[in-house]
Amino acid sequence: MVHCNNQSMPPPMIVFVLLGFPALQEAPLLLFFIFLALYTLIVVGNLVILVAVVGDPRLHKPMYFFLCNLSTLDVLFTTTTVPKMLAMFLSQHNTISFAGCFLQMYSFHTLTVMESFILVVMAYDRYEAICHPLHYPVRMTPQANARLAASAWAMALIIPAPVMVETSQLEYTARATVEHCFCDHLAVVRAACQNAGTKHQTFIGFCIAMTVSLVPLFLVLFSYGRILASVLKIASQEGRAKAFSTCTSHLLVVGTYYSSIAVAYVSYQMEMAIDLHVLSNVIFAILTPMLNPLIYTLRNKDVKEAIKTEGNQDEGMEQKTI
């Protein structure tokens, strides 16, 4: 924590200095090209899924409606942090305004919460499809799907807001150093003055983070527990394999997401170099959005066929143009 000595400033005069990766300060171009490549892969991969789902009537199903929400979320999630990181690496401009920092922090944590919720909704969709197949078309109507997605977005927008407001009321020096590549809540709290109630903010932030991570995880596991019990009742092995195959991609995404969260949480509880703390959070911010489109394009037959169809249509249009 920072000792302010009565030198705290009002918000308009505060600038946050992003420390980035201290051990790699001499290689900004290398970092720039690495993160640019990862960001490009994330955006292109998720846009390919969006185009494939929207363009193929066969994918106009609840499962793929929620997949579109996930892909949109992943693009927004990385866009809140990576462009600023790229600018920092390329121009060495590592400062961000008070308003910009808190907007980035609120967006990042809102989208984090939203990812947890949308994974729960996707698990519920698979539960209804496998455990109640006859009622599935009636329960998972377009209107019901829209309400589920809208509820997830609304809760995600509300939950982080009180903590963000409280954190903005802490005392900061004119140039507060944030030991991170972007404005993460705990890193910003650590940049506040030592006597500014930072322990309370750290505790509240940790409790909310654990709640919005563990409760959705419990709901996902509960859904798949019911799915497993239902699938085991299917007599034929082929039927069981077909039922499980519709869940594989989602389970891989859930495993990737919660593994990256676990790495980030563990790093905060351990004494280690700043670079490793930052790296663990960057992995959380980039790994899942990057792997999600790869998982769904490699593991999901319907999505692969839709992408091939879109590609063939584009080739046909080009040939007609020529």
pLDDT, residue 200, reads 78
- The reported pLDDT for the residue numbered 322 is 47
Pairing of strands 15-18, 175-178: parallel
Domain that holds residue 281: 11-321
Q: Please report, for the chain, how many H helices and E strands are present, in that order.
A: 12, 3
Calpha distance 242→144 (Å, rounded): 26
For residue 125, give the CATH number of its domain: 1.20.1070.10
Question: What is the rounded distance in angstroms from the CA atom of residue 95 to the CA atom of residue 264?
Answer: 24
Residue 4 lies in a domain: no
Q: What is the mean pLDDT of each run of 10 residues along the chain (322 residues)?
A: 58 83 78 92 91 84 90 93 90 87 93 93 91 90 93 93 89 87 88 72 81 90 89 76 77 86 75 75 84 76 71 52 48
Please state the domain count of the chain.
Answer: 1
Helix ranges (DSSP H) in 194-300? 198-231, 237-269, 274-299
Given this model, what pLDDT does residue 247 score?
Answer: 80
Task: Supply the pLDDT for residue 314.
Answer: 52
- 197-to-103, 194, 200 alpha-carbon distances in Å: 21, 7, 6
Asked whether residue 2 is assigned to any structural domain, the reply reads no
The per-residue pLDDT for 12 is 67
Position 318 scores a pLDDT of 47
Q: Does residue 245 form part of some domain?
A: yes
Is 3 inside a domain boundary?
A: no
Residue 178 lies in a domain: yes
pLDDT value for 105: 93
What pLDDT score does 74 carry? 92
